[in-house]
Amino acid sequence: MKPILKSQDLAINGAPPAFIEQLHVGRPNIGSREAFMKYVGDIFDRRWLSNDGPMVQEFERRVAAYHGVKHCVAMCNGTVALEIAIRALGLEGEVIVPSYTFIATAHALSWQAITPVFADIDPVTHNLDPAAVRRMITPRTTGIIGVHLWGRGAPVDELQAIADEHGLKLMFDAAHAFGCSYKGRMIGNFGTCEVLSFHATKFFNTFEGGAVVTNDDELAETMRLMRNFGFVAMDKVVHPGTNGKMIEVAAAMGLVNLDAIDSVIDANRRNHHTYREALSGLPGISLLAFDEAERNNYQYVVMQVGRDCPVTRDRIIEALHAENIRARKYFWPGCHNMQPYRDLYPHAGLLLPNTQQVADSVVVLPTGTTMDSEMVRAVAAVIRVLVTGRA
Ligand code: T4K
């Protein structure tokens, strides 16, 4: 598709928007380069690159303190952190998850021969619908993994009540929820444990990385063993395990980015509010809101295209891409429609009407520290022209 706008339509103070080249969902936020280089120098001087080094230990302490949780067990990425948490909790058989999530939530189960059973979401919150979770429980169900989608808390209390009633384990995929709160309490304190992702595209990154945060001493100890092949001491393995360790240079990036976190959240908040203002009044266009009484990271700007919008969601995506604005259809088409799971559940769509509807309507727009208000208004201008036919 050709760009729908000529560059002068988007000109700001007469200048064409060269920055349009760079607008991606998931552009990494990067803290002080000088501080990072200094840390790398320290790592080289110590010649300690991995295996529970001092940077990783410091990073774990700071992440745990930030979330007000007893333990942070840092890992090489969020997917391995999910796998280790699932195994440490002893999940097996079937585990209930949303289909409307990144594929890693489902893969972390099926990779361990556990069947992910997809429950529908609430069309307003995009999080698991507790009534749908209840409907999916069978004698083989051993647990529930809630996802705090977009950083907005899943219905923790309702899911905990279901888990207690049926003797199920409850954990959360909190990959989107670093630094967020639910009912005033920081994420990290819900279920038996919660899993964070620090992937490059997350608002807080360690290049690649993840962690399990928990208040359960025994579980934390088991996961520490599991991420390092089960070694308890030199030449002594006491538990089955894998290589899930975070490396020192990743922890250094994490420390630098922790120092910058307030300014990143400020930029995301500002961008979110600018989008809200710039997109207001467009027919069929709405922006997912954050509860300002909670702590939010605002890392995802989630626009929904309703049936009353004169243009379709896919046409909007196409037009944005033609302008080099790499908006995303997260998490279309839903895990249940991805090859490995579509074959497993050919009729899952019948049980997941809200998942289908939300997955078909979402456009995630670029944000983060690489964008300022002018850029946000330029992205909104493309959408406005498309929807109204006027600049
Ligand atoms: N659970 C949930 C709910 C998750 O969302 C995720 C990850 C996980 C679990 C698993 O955690 P990790 O194992 O990943 O730690 C991206 C990320 O790869 C993935 O981490 C993330 N969720 C997901 C939401 O987004 P893609 O397929 O969109 O990635 P990709 O390569 O298309 O990158 C997205 C955009 O970011 C591109 O337009 C370019 C830009 N980008 C990307 C990278 C890596 C950059 O500008 N710089 C970069 O370095 O999955």
* Residue closest to 371 by CA, chosen among 8, 20, 34: 20
Encode pLDDT of 358-388 as tens digits.
999 999 999 999 999 999 999 999 999 999 9
Q: What is the CATH number of domain 7-23+261-388?
A: 3.90.1150.10
Encode pLDDT of 283-333 as tens digits.
999 999 999 999 999 999 999 999 999 999 999 999 999 999 999 999 999
Please give the angle made by the CA atoms of 118, 121 and 124, to the nearest 5 degrees. 170
Q: Phi/psi of residue 258, each to 5°? A: -65, -40
Is the C-beta atom of 28 inside 6 A of ligand 1?
Answer: yes
DSSP structure class, residue 146: E
Is the C-beta atom of 189 inside 6 A of ligand 1?
Answer: no
Instruction: Give every residue of the chain whose pLDDT is below 50, as ranges.
Output: 6-8, 11-15, 19-20
Is 381:318 a contact under the CB 8 Å cutoff?
Answer: no
Can you give the pLDDT at residue 391? Answer: 73
290 preceded by a cis bond (ω within 30 of 0): no
Is the C-beta atom of 180 inside 6 A of ligand 1?
Answer: no
Is 237:229 a contact under the CB 8 Å cutoff?
Answer: yes
Is the C-beta atom of 205 inside 6 A of ligand 1?
Answer: no
| Type of residue at 98 | P
Is the C-beta atom of 173 inside 6 A of ligand 1?
Answer: yes
Ligand 1: atom nearest CA of 208 is: 15
Can you give the pLDDT at residue 7? Answer: 45
Round to whole Å and give the CA distance between 163 and 169.
6
Joined tokens for residue 281 = 């009044």
- Residue 65's CB is within 10 A of a number of other CB atoms, namely 11
* Residue closest to 316 by CA, chosen among 269, 373, 381, 372: 381
CATH C-level class of 33-259? alpha beta
Can you give the pLDDT at residue 198? Answer: 98
Is 333:103 a contact under the CB 8 Å cutoff?
Answer: no
Say how many Å lie between the CA of residue 297 and the centre of ligand 1: 16
Can you give the pLDDT at residue 49? Answer: 98
Can you give the pLDDT at residue 4? Answer: 56
Round to whole Å and give the CA distance between 194 and 280.
35
DSSP structure class, residue 152: P
Can you give the pLDDT at residue 344? Answer: 85
Q: Which helix (H) or strand (E) covers residue 61, if one does?
A: helix 54-67
Q: Hey, where are the domains in the chain?
A: 7-23+261-388, 33-259
Please give the angle made by the CA atoms of 201, 177 and 85, to the nearest 5 degrees. 95
Say how many Å lie between the CA of residue 201 and the centre of ligand 1: 5
Measuring from atom 20 of ligand 1, which residue has the nearest CA? 199
Is the C-beta atom of 160 inside 6 A of ligand 1?
Answer: no
Contacts of 124 (CB under 8 A, 6+ apart): none
* H helices present in 17-53, as ranges: 33-46
Say how many Å lie between the CA of residue 268 and the centre of ligand 1: 17
Q: What is the pTM of this model?
A: 0.95
| Type of residue at 199 | H
Ligand 1: atom nearest CA of 77 is: 15
Is the C-beta atom of 107 inside 6 A of ligand 1?
Answer: no
Is 55:256 a contact under the CB 8 Å cutoff?
Answer: no
